[in-house]
Structure 1
Amino acid sequence: MFRRYSFWLIVILFLIYVLSFVDRQIVAVLAPQIRAHFELTNVQIGLLYGTAFSLIYAVAGIPMGRLADQWSRRKMIAIAVFAWSLVTVLSGFATSFAMLVVYRLILGVSQAMLSPAAYALLAETFRPELRASIFSVYASAIFIGIGLSFLVGGTVAQNTDWQTAMVVVGLPGLLLAPVACFFIRDVRVNRFVAGTFVGDIFASLRDMLGKRTIQLHLLGFGMLGVIGYTVLAFISIIFVDVFERPDLIRHYGWFQLGVAVTVIFMGLLADYLARKNPARRFWIGIIAIVAALPLYGLGLFADDGFTALILLGTAVLFSFSFNGVAAALIQFMVRPDQRALAGAVYLFVMSVGGLGLGPPIAGFLMDRAFEGQYAASQAIFSLIIVCATIAIISFVAAMRSYHRDAVD
């Protein structure tokens, strides 16, 4: 009975996570149309896609993570799905850039409720030696969602408009929310104690962030997040501004679907490497960036759009393959009563670095630092080089300190 529940739990959480990234990523897919409709700059697109979502997502994620350790994870997940799906639908009726920003902020708060609770449920339901593999299955939903946002959202927008695309991608979540509410059950009974809530957050954060391996983990994977989310934020702009091939935007979604496979493969590889030394799971981050770096360089400066699509699409197969392993790794270094908060801390760093800083910085470099046909490519690749260097150094150092800080 438990095995049957655990199977359907991962299926339900997987589907929910797919929808979360469809709704999160759709702004980047529709960026050229939104930019033209509201007469925006590239910096404003970066702020809308990244900062408006990520800052509130990151800030809200910490208390949401601690709340998920003390309250009903089932209720949090159901409320979250309904809320972000509703504001995605409403975004299709936005009449100003400011209104889109407000809806993006609400999206950030509601999505901050999901993954900390989901990480804790998965960590408690499945055995530790399977953790990287299970977390990678869950994380693969990210790229199914991103892929569908390009394929479905891009196709709808191409045949109608960006407003209709927003409504279409938001509706499925309104149907899935009640399913989550009735099916998911909390593995243990949580008790919310309001009087100690804030103090408990700070005490747990001090305990976690005092560990050097966690610091290096967050720095390294945060840098990979900057690379990945910056490319996602401006991939539509790249195909339009650099290669003048807007017709290729939706085809990029097929490669995002492929990332789901590489994420699962990397999770299995991480658990295999960990049989001799658990610290070797950090090799996944090194493999991801070393494989992706030359492909990004060749793709961003390709001579034609189709070649760029193949190279950049292949690069992303590696670039985002670390996601499940990164989320699982931090769980090995915290206590059971810190699982959801640890997930929130990881997502905080990925959001602030990946979404909050990467796209606006890249947008600024495009508008102010570089000129010509390949201005966007130069801006993005400059950011990739810096982040890749920091990430590799961090992962090598983390493997040295892992055994001192590991708990589980």
Structure 2
Amino acid sequence: MTTAPSREAAPASGYRYYVLAVLIFVYMLNFLDRQIVGILATPLKAEFGLTDAQFGLMGGLAFALLYSTLAIPIAWLADRFSRVWIMTAALTVWSGFTALCGAAGSFGQLFLCRMGVGVGEAGGVAPAYSLIADYFPKSQRARALAAYAFGIPIGTAAGTLVGGLLAATYGWRTAFIVVGLLGVLAAPLLRLTVRDPKRGGMDEPVPVETAAPAPVANMVAAPPKAPPFGQVLKTLLPKPSFWLLSFGAAASSVCGYGVAAWLPSFFQRSFGLTLAETAWYYSGIALVGGLTGIWLGGAVADRLGRASRGAYPLVPAIAFLISVPCFLLAMNSGAIIGAVLPGGDANGAAALTLAFVIFLIPTGLNLAWLGPITASVQHLVPANMRTTASALFLLINNLLGIAVGIFYFGWMSDLLRPTFGDESLRWAIYTGMGFYLLASALLIGASRTLKKDWVD
């Protein structure tokens, strides 16, 4: 037995970070197109006469159904063919359907267009996870994947700000068309400048059998072949860490996606902001809080993970526990200001400022899981199974998180409206905080099983 290096020539450091920057930009477009419907909820509901629950179906189920299920066969292809080509095609498709949303003449047409967005975005994330794992060594992967996740707050902020301002000035149709065409124009940048690296090229050397010892310079490792789908399932599904990580992330995403989609409406209903004011206000919260929380989650997990693999899920588990009371305080900033300043709740500027500052904390904490958990999933299987493993993880996370989360808060708002009137959305969000507590419990469980299930 000799040890063959699994690396060819490691990608140059500068190019590695360029690739990461391009992938972040593409992920930003992914979330821009995905989250733009949140800021457009008020004009869309007025245009098509929708209830909160109907809007939740359009914003959640229409997107998540095909997005989650098609990710599996697309990931199977990405483990065998060019990941960059697949991502380029996906970017073109989801951006094109986003632009078509601007031409929808009925709720049914808009629903179908959002399904088309989901079809395209099914090929956007799992291949990117695999690419990043092959560009960065495992000691840096949580931070690299956390940096990739910067696309979430940047895209959410851009979708909220650009979509809201365009809709307030030119109408919601223009907002869809402009952001969709942006993605179509960006697709060639991905295809022409990003190379598909060797799979497993940044992993540790692995032992291979040789007939006789050979000079190290002459030893090469055959690229790992993508295994059958059934073998991936056989490797992954018996591991309790996969289920705990997947359902823990999904429970957090029910609340995360749901709150992100409905907070713009909450700010308009309960804080009295206009569409344009909401666009500026919420985009700032999403950008500053999200970037800070994602980076800290990845950096802290990478540091603590050197001593214990269990730190990867434990860091976000603690973050979720802290985020719940912060959300409740931020949503009740008016009552807090009324208790300490003359003028009571009429002091709206002070209440808005306090809410902005407090909202930064849970907005960051509820995204801190992205780097640590996605890095953990990458290490549950060998390198040639990573894309498919990521897609299986995303199937559970997104099917529950997006489809259930966005619909849940809309449905609960309609259910509570007879009792709470225009404040029903506030109380719907209160009930959703329980999903963060469930997520924390599941991830604490994963912290106890991950060391056994980890694949170096």
Q: TM-score, normalised on structure 1?
A: 0.93
CA distance in 2, matches of 1:55, 1:326: 23
Specify the code of the residue in structure 1 equivalent to 2:250: G
CA distance in 1, matches of 2:355, 2:65: 31
- Equivalent in the alignment of 1:42: 52
- Equivalent in the alignment of 1:222: 250
Query: Residue 288 of structure 1 is aligned with which of 319, 324, 328?
Result: 319
CA distance in 2, matches of 1:151, 1:377: 22
- Structure 2: runs of 5 or more not aligned: 1-10, 201-225, 335-347
- Contact in 2 for aligned 1:252/1:313 (Cα 8 Å): no
1:140 aligns with 2:170: no
Q: Secondary structure at the match of 2:310?
A: helix
* More divergent stretch after superposition (295-304 vs 64-73): 295-304
Q: CA deviation at 1:404?
A: 1.3
- Equivalent in the alignment of 1:194: none
Q: CA deviation at 1:313?
A: 4.1
- Contact in 2 for aligned 1:140/1:324 (Cα 8 Å): no
1:120-144 Cα offsets, whole Å, 9 max, x none, are 1111111001110000000111110
Specify the code of the residue in structure 2 equivalent to 1:284: V
1:322-363 Cα offsets, whole Å, 9 max, x none, are 212221111111111110012112221221121111121221
* More divergent stretch after superposition (314-323 vs 48-57): 314-323
The Cα RMSD (Å) is 2.0
- Contact in 1 for aligned 2:134/2:199 (Cα 8 Å): no
- Equivalent in the alignment of 1:397: 445
- Equivalent in the alignment of 1:274: 305
Q: CA deviation at 1:311?
A: 3.3
- Equivalent in the alignment of 1:262: 293
- Equivalent in the alignment of 1:72: 82
* More divergent stretch after superposition (320-329 vs 216-225): 320-329
- Equivalent in the alignment of 2:409: 362
Query: Residue 249 of structure 1 is aligned with which of 275, 278, 300?
Result: 278
1:211 aligns with 2:221: no
CA distance in 1, matches of 2:62, 2:190: 27
* More divergent stretch after superposition (59-68 vs 341-350): 341-350
CA distance in 1, matches of 2:57, 2:331: 22
CA distance in 2, matches of 1:262, 1:366: 28
CA distance in 2, matches of 1:312, 1:201: 42
Q: Secondary structure at the match of 2:105?
A: coil
1:345-400 Cα offsets, whole Å, 9 max, x none, are 22212211211111212211111245324311111221212x12221221221111
CA distance in 1, matches of 2:22, 2:271: 39
- Contact in 2 for aligned 1:224/1:388 (Cα 8 Å): yes
Superposition map of 1:228-239 within 5 A? 228-239=256-267
- Equivalent in the alignment of 2:196: 186
Between the two proteins, what is the percent identity of the paired residues? 30
1:5-28 Cα offsets, whole Å, 9 max, x none, are 212111111111111111111111
1:91 aligns with 2:106: no
Query: Residue 383 of structure 2 is aligned with which of 306, 322, 336?
Result: 336
- Equivalent in the alignment of 2:121: 111
- Equivalent in the alignment of 2:338: none
1:388 aligns with 2:436: yes
- Equivalent in the alignment of 2:223: none
CA distance in 2, matches of 1:202, 1:237: 44
CA distance in 2, matches of 1:308, 1:49: 26
- Contact in 2 for aligned 1:32/1:236 (Cα 8 Å): no
Specify the code of the residue in structure 2 equivalent to 1:230: G
1:352 aligns with 2:399: yes
- Equivalent in the alignment of 2:228: 200
Q: Secondary structure at the match of 2:228?
A: helix
Specify the code of the residue in structure 2 equivalent to 1:132: A
1:179-223 Cα offsets, whole Å, 9 max, x none, are 111112221389xxxxxx9x9324312421210011111111111
Bigger helix share: 1
Specify the code of the residue in structure 1 equivalent to 2:121: Q
Q: Based on CA coordinates, which of the two structures has the bigger radius of gyration?
A: 2
1:213-253 Cα offsets, whole Å, 9 max, x none, are 11111111111111110101211221222333235421111
User: Residues 202 and 249 (structure 1 numbering): CA distance in 2 closer, same or farther, change over 3 Å?
Assistant: farther
CA distance in 1, matches of 2:411, 2:180: 30
CA distance in 2, matches of 1:313, 1:389: 19
Q: CA deviation at 1:81?
A: 1.1
CA distance in 2, matches of 1:295, 1:362: 19
- Contact in 2 for aligned 1:221/1:285 (Cα 8 Å): no
- Equivalent in the alignment of 1:14: 24
Q: Secondary structure at the match of 1:270?
A: helix
